[in-house]
Amino acid sequence: MIHINLLPFRAARKKENVRQQVSVFLLLILIVSIGLIWYNSRLNGEIENLETQIQYTQKEVVRYNRLAKQVEELKAKVETLKKKLAVIETLDTSRDVAFRLLDTMTDMVIEKRMWFTQLEAIEKKERKAKVSRKKKAKKKKAKKADAKTEVKAEEKKEPEVNIRIAGIALDNKTVADFMTRLETSSFFTAVELVRTQKESFKQKDRDDIDLKLFEIVCRRSPLKDIYLSQKEKE
């Protein structure tokens, strides 16, 4: 009977299997390494793109911040100009009103029967009520909320101007006629007689003369009403 020794063949086959497994393992390592290198290069490219975008965005932010600062400066200049224009308009209006007031008062005077000793126009200022800190904080929050929803421009209230007139008249009838003229004028409202007082004045080579000292207060009508009445007359 013939005997064949298979041990060398099995050993060679085993070595071949090990060699194949090692080759497959090395091939897998190579493929994974190539994949990792490719993925790493791709990530590096994306990182570079993101860094470029970040740098561009930062430059744009700096540019827009400069523009925003310029816009704020322009807004401040516009507000300053508006305030100056408002002051100029107020001065023009006040000058015009003062001239009209004197002119109207001249027309109101009853000639040779009365004389002014004092004419005073007082602008009434509104008193500011004291507000606690909590109320101030609430008001600030309310203002911020209103600013987010809708901003409404509030019209400035025209200041109330009270006029005080002091003078001398021949008699009470003259004072009454003068008050009637003031009441019928479109320039004045709320005409009130504060006081009348009899006063004797001495004269050289003549008898003493009794005159009436009077004081009247009234309120200047709103400018809109004055201008409307003047346009109607024209």
- Is 118 exposed, middle or buried (CB count within 10 Å of its CB: 0-12, 13-18, 19+)? exposed
Note the helical H segments in 109-161.
133-149
The residue ranges of DSSP E strands in 91-169, in sequence order, are 114-124, 160-169
143: tokens are 């203002």
Strand 160-169 to 188-203 pairing: unpaired
Each residue's pLDDT, cut to its tens digit, for the chain (234 residues) gives: 555 555 565 666 777 777 888 888 888 888 988 988 998 888 988 999 999 999 999 999 999 999 999 999 999 999 999 988 887 876 666 676 677 777 778 888 888 899 998 888 787 765 554 545 555 566 555 555 554 444 444 445 667 788 899 999 999 999 999 999 988 888 888 899 999 998 887 777 777 788 999 999 998 887 676 666 655 655
Quick count: other Cβ atoms within 10 Å of Cβ 188? 23
- Note whether 215 and 194 are within 8 A (CB): yes
Structure pTM?
Answer: 0.48
